[in-house]
């Protein structure tokens, strides 16, 4: 059974070693904090996915703070992480899932539907007293070619809940919503 929305900490604990896990912790105000936290402790078997380095493309000054990478570049990164078609992936972040949801969406964008977000994130995992480690797993790279789904591209370009300033790539007080595709029109939540 593939999980494709949320997965519980108990379910993940039962599949450690079988499933692919990505730590997506990130702090917009302190971009290196996620990597530091990963080096200190993470769920066993987890690899780190940097929002700035791995889950974003080059900035042009007109495409926002975290523009999507192209699908080919993203696929190459997934291959370096050892991902194979059919692997169950679980993404987590510090707690609320906002950062993990980006990798969840990106994997689905390129056709990898076996992906779920850890319900409650690392905070819940730790609060339950589950195993953590500082050991970085050894992986064997794979060849992972990905193509963006046309429907996902069209949907992501159609609307953004970002403010007009954030849509133009300017930092705003509420920048947590700044991950929409280039060309999206602004429809902020008010």
- Give mean pLDDT, residues 32-47: 98
Which pLDDT tens digit goes with each residue over 89-136? 999 999 889 999 999 999 999 999 999 999 999 999 999 999 999 999
Whether residue 28 lies inside any domain: the answer is yes
Task: Write down the H helix ranges in 43-186.
Answer: 71-80, 98-109, 121-127, 150-158, 164-167
Q: What pLDDT was estimated at residue 167?
A: 54
Domain-embedded: residue 100: yes
Mean pLDDT of the chain: 84
Asked if the model's pLDDT at residue 16 lies above 90, the reply is yes
Cβ distance 23 to 42 under 8 Å? yes
Range of the domain at 101: 6-149
Tell whether 134 is covered by a domain.
Answer: yes
Distance (Å, rounded) from C-alpha 26 to C-alpha 21? Answer: 16
> Are 122 and 23 a contacting pair, CB within 8 Å?
yes
Q: Is residue 123 part of a domain?
A: yes
CATH number of the domain enclosing 76: 3.40.250.10
- Return the structure tokens found at 74: 């993203």
> Is residue 166, in this structure, part of any structural domain at all?
no
Residue 182 within a domain: no
Would residue 176 count as lying in a domain?
Answer: no
172 domain residue, yes or no: no
């Amino acid at each position: 059974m593939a999980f494709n929305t949320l997965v519980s900490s108990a379910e993940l604990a039962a599949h450690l070693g079988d499933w692919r896990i990505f730590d997506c912790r990130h702090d917009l105000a302190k971009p290196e904090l996620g990597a530091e936290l990963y080096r200190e402790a993470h769920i066993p078997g987890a690899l780190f996915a940097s929002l700035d380095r791995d889950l974003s493309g080059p900035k042009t000054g007109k495409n926002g703070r975290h523009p999507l990478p192209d699908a080919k570049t993203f696929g190459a990164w997934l291959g370096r992480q050892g991902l194979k078609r059919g692997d169950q992936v679980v993404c987590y972040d510090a707690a609320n899932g906002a950062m993990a949801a980006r990798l969840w969406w990106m994997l689905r964008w390129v056709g990898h539907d076996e992906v779920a977000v850890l319900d409650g994130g690392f905070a819940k995992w730790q609060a339950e007293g589950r195993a953590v480690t500082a050991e970085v797993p050894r992986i064997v790279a794979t060849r992972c070619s990905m193509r963006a789904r046309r429907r996902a591209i069209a949907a992501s370009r159609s609307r953004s809940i970002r403010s007009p300033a954030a849509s133009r790539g300017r930092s705003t007080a509420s920048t947590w919503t700044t991950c929409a595709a280039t060309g999206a029109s602004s429809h902020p939540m008010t």
